Structure 1
Amino acid sequence: MSFTKIPTKNLSHNEWLRLRKTGIGGSDVGAICGVNKYSSPVKIYQDKTTDTITEINNEATRIGHDLEDYCARRFMEETGLKVRKSNFMYRSTEHPFMLADVDRLVIGEDAGLECKTTNILNASQWKNGQIPISYVMQCYHYMYCTGRKTWYIACVILGKEFVYRKLTWNDDIINNIVSIEYDFWQNNVLKGIMPEPDGSSSSDNIISSMFPTAENKDVIKLTGFDEKLSKRDSLISEISQLEKEKKKIEQEIQIKMEDSEFAENDTHRIKWSNVETVRLDTQRLHKELPNIYNQFLKKTVSRRFQIKAV
Structure 2
Amino acid sequence: MSKSTLEMSHQEWLEDRKKGIGGSDVGTILGLNKWKSPYQLWLEKTGQVVIEETENEPAYWGNVLEEVVAKEFQERTGKKVRRRNQVFEHLLHPFLRANIDRDVVGENAILECKTANQFLGKEWEGEEVPLSYLCQVQHYMNVLNKDYCYIAVLIGGQRFIWKRIARDQELIDTITERLVEFWETNVVEGIEPVIDGSEATADFLKEKYADVEENQTALPSRFDELIEQKRELKRTKKEIESAIRQVDNEIISELGKREASIGITQRNIISWKLVSTKRMNTKKLAEKYPDIASDEEIYSITESRRLTEKEIK
> Would you call these one fold, judging by a TM-score over 0.5?
yes
Distance 2:223 2:302 in 1: 31
Partner residue, 2:192: 194
Assess, with a 3 A threshold, how the Cα gap between structure 1 residues 234 and 63 changes in structure 2: closer, same or farther. Answer: same
Q: Is 1:24 matched with 2:24? A: no
Pairing 1:1-310 to 2, within 5 Å after superposition: 3=1, 5-50=2-47, 52-158=50-156, 161-257=159-255, 262-265=262-265, 267-283=267-283, 288-289=290-291, 293-309=295-311
Higher relative contact order (CA 8 A, sep 6+): 1
Q: Counterpart of 2:51 in 1: which secondary structure? A: coil
Maintained 8 Å contact 2:285/2:293 = no
RMSD, matched Cα? 2.7
Look at both structures and tell me which one has the larger radius of gyration over its CA atoms.
2
Deviation at 1:264, TM superposition (A): 4.5
Alignment coverage as a number of residue pairs: 307
- Once the two structures are superposed, residues 242-274 of structure 1 have per-residue CA deviations (whole angstroms, 9 ceiling, x without a partner) of 222223333343445557665554544445444
Q: Counterpart of 1:18 in 2: which secondary structure? A: helix
Maintained 8 Å contact 1:214/1:303 = no
- The letter for the 2-side match of 1:192 is G
Maintained 8 Å contact 1:125/1:131 = yes
Maintained 8 Å contact 1:123/1:157 = yes
Assess, with a 3 A threshold, how the Cα gap between structure 1 residues 191 and 133 changes in structure 2: closer, same or farther. Answer: same
Distance 1:260 1:149 in 2: 57
- The letter for the 2-side match of 1:124 is K
- The letter for the 1-side match of 2:69 is C
- The letter for the 2-side match of 1:249 is V
- The letter for the 2-side match of 1:143 is M
Assess, with a 3 A threshold, how the Cα gap between structure 1 residues 230 and 53 changes in structure 2: closer, same or farther. Answer: closer
Which of 143-152 and 56-65 deviates more?
56-65
Q: Counterpart of 1:209 in 2: which secondary structure? A: helix
- Once the two structures are superposed, residues 214-265 of structure 1 have per-residue CA deviations (whole angstroms, 9 ceiling, x without a partner) of 4152242332244443333222222222222223333343445557665554
Assess, with a 3 A threshold, how the Cα gap between structure 1 residues 130 and 274 changes in structure 2: closer, same or farther. Answer: same
Assess, with a 3 A threshold, how the Cα gap between structure 1 residues 70 and 243 changes in structure 2: closer, same or farther. Answer: farther
Assess, with a 3 A threshold, how the Cα gap between structure 1 residues 216 and 96 changes in structure 2: closer, same or farther. Answer: farther
Maintained 8 Å contact 1:286/1:293 = no
Structure 2 residue runs of 5 or longer lacking an equivalent are none
Maintained 8 Å contact 1:20/1:99 = no
- The letter for the 2-side match of 1:75 is F
Distance 1:175 1:163 in 2: 28
Maintained 8 Å contact 1:115/1:153 = yes
Maintained 8 Å contact 2:114/2:152 = yes
Distance 1:216 1:308 in 2: 18
Structure 1 residue runs of 5 or longer lacking an equivalent are none
- Once the two structures are superposed, residues 265-286 of structure 1 have per-residue CA deviations (whole angstroms, 9 ceiling, x without a partner) of 4544445444443333445556
